[in-house]
Amino acid sequence: MPTTQRVAYVRVSSAGQNLDRQLEAVGDADRTFREYQSGSTTSQQPVLREALDYVPEGDTLVVASIDRLARSLRDMLTIMEELETKGVTVDFRSQGLTIRPNRGDLTTRLILHIITAVAQSEREMIRERQAEGIAIAKQIPGKYPGRRRLLDPNQIYEARTRDLAGVPKAQIARDYGISRNTLYRYLRRGWPGEWARRRQELT
């Protein structure tokens, strides 16, 4: 009987970003595919395409989190259908979801679809709010362009919580329309009062 493999796929949006957290999440693997490119579809992620073509029947494709494999529900469904047809198991480490082929685990599949759809919806709402904010700012003389985007307290708390949960900093900064340097400044600040207590709970 052939030996099965754990094949890992990790992705960041550019070569300057760090894969260490994702590599730690996926753990030991027989082969690791590393992508340094942003993309909303599989066709825009050549290393993902290579990984999907490589992984054979009986193997497990390990991914740090759902958003690293696909950024839309449509693309996720396409990828999962391809892997199921090949007989490949998919393990999403951050969400604790393992999707096995031909097992009829409808509950697990439903959870995967819901999480993917919610993540896609959140990204679309963030982009919509950013577009609305820019449109309003453009109507105020001297406010746009060139004015630094600031986060309100709720957004700061959300950004810090997502960082603790393992969401890549580049993705967080992109979602809020700020630079990574600006995000780092928010993350370095203290966690006063209630935020400090919540941080202890999260860690």
Positions marked active-site: 13
Measure the CA–CA gap between 156 and 168, rounded to whole angstroms. Answer: 15
Long-range contacts of 83-86 (CB under 8 A, 24+ apart): 83/52, 83/55, 86/55, 86/56, 86/57
Q: In the chain, count of helices (H) and strands (E)?
A: 9, 5
Report the candidate in 140, 65, 127, 134 with the shortest Cα–Cα distance to residue 95.
65
End-to-end CA distance of the chain: 42
Measure the CA–CA gap between 113 and 77, rounded to whole angstroms. Answer: 8
